[in-house]
Amino acid sequence: MRIELKDENQEEPQKIDENDIRYKHESDLTKKEKRELEKMKLSSMGLGGKLQYIWAYYKPQMAAVVAVIAIAFFAKDLYQNSKIHTALTVMVIDSYGMKQEEAEEKVQEALGIQDDPYEVVTVDESLRTGEDGVALESYSQMAFTTKVAAKAVDVLIGSEQYMDGFEFKDEYFMDLTELLPEDVYQAFGEQEDKYSITITSDQLASDLEVAYEPIKIGILANSENVENAVKWLTKLAERGNV
């Protein structure tokens, strides 16, 4: 008779529990079991392994989440920007432009919109004339023509030499004798022409950062913010900036 001796050091084969989700085929797992299996895998990994696993298996989902967040922020910005209105754009020729923000704040105060985040005032101080002070430099002239054509300028401010250099003023500027209330127009004193207001004011020159006096102001014929342009000129007259 043959007797087989059992090796005490030999390990018995591990019994597999058929109900253990770790040994089930993925297609046989329920959604709940799949979630449990994911938790088990992640719990057995270190931080680096977890990050690699999540990146490897969840890139599409993560990309979708990032895309949704980006779209949400874009939609919010788009909505906020759609509520913004340009109340007035003032173009100042030959300004040395070191206090543009302060100049814009003063115009906002004059219009009474300093506390309204959706009403914007722009003081454009980027254009320069040539040495004669009459005509704009070539780049400035192109910029000016483009902005005027796009109705992006409401008020134009310049020196006498520059403003008087417009050959067809009636094509560029509004008739201020008809546009301004009579008392406001008269408050500025006798004017040389009806297409601009001439002002001598050290305070205004300082606010606009220009070295020339007097200052001439005209309202563009295609301005889309005529009411605010008139309101600003009215405030200048009331404050004695004449």
* Nearest-angstrom CA–CA distance, 63 and 125: 44
Torsion of CA 219, 220, 221, 223, to 10 degrees: -100
* Nearest-angstrom CA–CA distance, 193 and 77: 45
* Sheet of strand 85-92, all strands in order from the earlier edge strand to the far edge: 119-124, 85-92, 155-159, 215-219, 197-199
* Nearest-angstrom CA–CA distance, 161 and 135: 9
Q: What integer is the mean pLDDT of 179-190?
A: 93
Q: Alpha helix locations (H) across the chain? A: 31-43, 47-82, 100-111, 138-149, 160-163, 169-172, 176-179, 182-187, 202-208, 226-238
Cα 118 versus chain centre, distance: 11
* Nearest-angstrom CA–CA distance, 151 and 144: 11
pLDDT tens for each residue of 104-157: 999 999 999 988 888 999 999 989 998 888 899 999 999 999 999 999 999 999
Query: 87 — phi, psi (to 5°)?
Result: -75, -35
pLDDT at 204 exceeding the cut of 70: yes
pLDDT tens for each residue of 65-75: 667 666 665 65
* Nearest-angstrom CA–CA distance, 61 and 7: 53
Cα 98 versus chain centre, distance: 21
Instruction: Answer for the pair 217, 156: CB distance below 8 angstroms, yes or no.
Output: yes
* Nearest-angstrom CA–CA distance, 180 and 27: 81
% of residues, the chain, pLDDT over 70: 66
- pLDDT value at residue 219: 96
- pLDDT value at residue 131: 86
Q: What integer is the mean pLDDT of 85-105?
A: 89
pLDDT tens for each residue of 28-76: 667 676 667 666 766 666 666 666 666 666 666 666 666 766 666 565 5
- pLDDT value at residue 217: 96
* Nearest-angstrom CA–CA distance, 204 and 125: 14
Query: Quick one: pLDDT band at residue 12, thresholds 50, 70, 90?
Result: low
- pLDDT value at residue 239: 77
What is the overall mean pLDDT for the chain? 81
The pTM for the full model equals 0.67
109 CB-near residues (< 8 Å, 6+ apart): none
Query: Quick one: pLDDT band at residue 85, thresholds 50, 70, 90?
Result: confident
